Amino acid sequence: MKERLYEILNEEKAHEIIPFLKQLSTEERKTLVPTIKKLDREISKIVMTKNSYHTAGSADQHSIIDIASFVCMDQKHYGKNYWSLFRDKEQTRKILEWGCPPWFSEFINDSIEAEFTAFNYQDILEWAEKGYVKPRPELLGYHLSLQPYDLDKSPETLNTHFWYLCEFPSKSLPFTREWLPLVQKLIAENKIERKRFLKECLLAANRNFNKNVTGWFMDAFNILKPSNEELIMLQDELMAGLASVQSKAVNTMLAHLKKIVPESEFKTSEFSHFLPNLLSSEVKTVVAASLAVTENIFQKKKTDTENLGMALSAAFVSKDESIQTKAAKIIQKYIPVSEDIQEALSHYADNVLANVRPGLAEYIEDKQLELDAVEQEKLELISEESRAKEPASFEDLMFFLPQAIEKPGTYYYDLALGGLVKFAADADDASVKLFEPVFQKACKTIAKWEVHHFNVLLCNLIINYGLSLMEKFPVQLKNLEKIYKRTQEDEATREVYSTYHKKLGPIRDIYAGGVAMKPFKHIAVQVFNKIKSGDKTPLLSTVTHEPCWVSPDALVERFEIYQNENIKPDDLDVQLALQRCSLERTSDRLKLVEEKLKGEYKDLLLFFFSPNAAPKGKFEHPSWWMTAGITRSPGTVFKEFKDFGYDDIPNEFLTGSYEWKTIDSKKNSYYPVELNINVPKYHLKKREHPLFLEFFIAEQKHFSETPSFMWSFPNTLGNVFAKIIKDCLFYSGIAEVYERTLVLNTAQALHQMKKPLDAMGYLFLGTIFLDGDKVIRGTAAEIWLEHVSHKVMDNVQLGRVTGLHEKLEWAPVKRFTDLVQHQMLNVSKDHNLALEQLLTHILLQMETPVTNLKKILDIYHEVLALNQSEADKNLKEKLNSWKENSSLKKICNLLLKK
Q: By the 8 A CB rule, do 250 and 284 touch?
A: no
Residue 416 has pLDDT above 70, yes or no: yes
pTM for the structure as a whole: 0.78
Residue 846: pLDDT band (50, 70, 90) is very high
Span 869-881, average pLDDT: 92
pLDDT score of 780: 97
User: Could you tell me which residue, 652 or 409, shows the higher pLDDT?
Assistant: 652
pLDDT tens for each residue of 709-718? 999 999 999 9
Residue 133 has pLDDT above 90, yes or no: yes
Q: Percent of the chain having pLDDT more than 70? A: 97
Residue 315 has pLDDT above 70, yes or no: yes
- 74 vs 122: CA distance, rounded Å: 25
Span 596-604, average pLDDT: 96
Whether the link from the prior residue into 552 is cis, omega within 30° of 0, is no
> Half-sphere exposure of 709 toward its Cβ, with a 13 Å CA cutoff?
28
Single out the residue of 779, 760, 782 nearest to residue 768, CA to CA.
779
Residue 241: pLDDT band (50, 70, 90) is very high
With a CB cutoff of 8 Å and minimum separation 6, the contacts of 278 are: 242, 250, 254, 286, 287, 290
Q: By the 8 A CB rule, do 169 and 141 touch?
A: yes
Report long-range pairs for 391-399 (Cβ below 8 Å, ≥24 apart): 391/415, 391/419, 391/422, 391/423, 393/423, 393/426, 394/423, 394/424, 394/426, 394/427, 394/431, 395/431, 395/434, 396/423, 397/422, 397/423, 398/431, 398/434, 398/435, 398/438, 399/434
Helix (H) or strand (E) holding 54: strand 53-55
Span 617-629, average pLDDT: 95
Residue 366 has pLDDT above 70, yes or no: no
pLDDT score of 373: 65
Cα angle: 53, vertex 54, 58; to 5 degrees? 160
Residue 175 has pLDDT above 90, yes or no: no
pLDDT score of 381: 87
Span 537-550, average pLDDT: 96
Single out the residue of 891, 676, 892 nearest to residue 804, CA to CA.
676
Residue 50 has pLDDT above 70, yes or no: no
- 112 vs 190: CA distance, rounded Å: 30
- 703 vs 512: CA distance, rounded Å: 12
pLDDT score of 282: 87
Residue 172: pLDDT band (50, 70, 90) is low
User: Could you tell me which residue, 734 or 171, shows the higher pLDDT?
Assistant: 734
pLDDT score of 83: 84
pLDDT tens for each residue of 680-705? 999 998 999 999 999 999 988 877 88
Residue 665: pLDDT band (50, 70, 90) is confident
Single out the residue of 656, 630, 613 nearest to residue 757, CA to CA.
656
Residue 888 has pLDDT above 90, yes or no: yes
Residue 368 has pLDDT above 60, yes or no: no
Residue 640 has pLDDT above 90, yes or no: yes
Using the Cα atoms of residue 510, residue 515, residue 519 and residue 520 in order, give the sign of their dihedral. negative
pLDDT score of 174: 64
Single out the residue of 391, 471, 479, 477 nearest to residue 431, CA to CA.
477
pLDDT score of 370: 62
pLDDT tens for each residue of 849-874? 999 999 999 999 999 988 889 999 99
- 66 vs 71: CA distance, rounded Å: 9
Span 885-891, average pLDDT: 91
Residue 644 has pLDDT above 80, yes or no: yes
Q: What is the mean pLDDT of the chain?
A: 91
Lowest-pLDDT range, 51-65, 123-137, 410-424, 594-608?
51-65
Span 82-110, average pLDDT: 89
Q: By the 8 A CB rule, do 107 and 135 touch?
A: no
Residue 434 has pLDDT above 70, yes or no: yes
With a CB cutoff of 8 Å and minimum separation 6, the contacts of 325 are: 355, 356, 359
Lowest-pLDDT range, 45-59, 216-230, 464-478?
45-59
pLDDT tens for each residue of 746-761? 999 999 988 899 999 9
Residue 564 has pLDDT above 70, yes or no: yes
Q: Percent of the chain having pLDDT more than 90? A: 66
The full DSSP string for 403-464 is HHHHS-SSHHHHHHHHHHHHHGGG--TTGGGGHHHHHHHHHHHHTSSS--HHHHHHHHHHHH
Residue 744 has pLDDT above 80, yes or no: yes
pLDDT tens for each residue of 101-122? 999 999 999 988 887 888 999 9
pLDDT score of 768: 96
Residue 789 has pLDDT above 60, yes or no: yes
Backbone φ and ψ for 784, nearest 5 degrees, come out as -60, -45
- Mean pLDDT is highest, among 353-362, 364-373, 571-580, 881-890, for 571-580
